[in-house]
Structure 1
């Protein structure tokens, strides 16, 4: 299967710098490439691209503070973290949120919790449970 590209996702952001910083710190990753219009984060076996929303579109809406979670989206990113507790702190410091401990659940050897980034995009973080 080496002939296939790395799987990944694209997140569109009104504030490219803020959203890129959020995911870089949440995932303990570094940007491998950055331009005025996008940032690329490389994880093992996954590439996350944060792409700036063009000004002509970005100027037509506002992001509230705190951001309103956009839970109606058809897709939710599942992101690996070493610690949900640490991810909760990082997210809060960067304008996002990981839900409270009482909203966590376990599934397929993972502890899982939903949240959102600084622009309200819904995410799910997953911490491997040691057995």
Structure 2
């Protein structure tokens, strides 16, 4: 069993596709309103919610970041630059390089999925030995 998170979404397929591509994950379970995607270490459950709870984001428009939540997950990516290039094609975005920061053994930048959920992507840095 992997560690993971549940992400609630108005458009399950669109949000799942964003994480599948950016995080190199694969679908492991699909049913209407629910999609489970996983890598060898992480599992994400994209769970649908009714429109009266969460209105679907406009297709083609950049999502409005929802920064007033109590939790922000982070995920390791191979390259922040590649994630930044791919995210708009999938309906989200990664904030510009000026917003990146380095800590411990990674460089990080916040991003938004297609529905505005703010996450952080981290690129591991090679440590000098």
Same fold (TM over 0.5): yes
From 102, 105, 112, the counterpart of 2:108: 112
Count matched residues. Answer: 125
Q: 2:66 matched to 1:70?
A: yes
Residue 39 of structure 1 and its aligned partner are, at CA, apart by: 1.0
Residue 57 of structure 1 and its aligned partner are, at CA, apart by: 3.1
Q: Deviations over 1:22-68 (max 9, x none)?
A: 0100101111111112111112332111111135534xx35253211
Measure, in 1, the Cα distance between the counterparts of 2:56 and 2:123. Answer: 32
Q: Which runs of 5+ in 1 are unaligned?
A: none
Q: Which residue pairs with 2:33 in the alignment?
A: 37
Normalized against structure 2, the TM-score is what? 0.89
Q: Which residue pairs with 1:94 in the alignment?
A: 90
What is the RMSD of the two structures over their aligned residues, measured on CA atoms? Answer: 1.5
Measure, in 1, the Cα distance between the counterparts of 2:104 and 2:27. Answer: 30
Q: Which runs of 5+ in 2 are unaligned?
A: none
Q: Indicate the SS of the match to 1:20.
A: helix
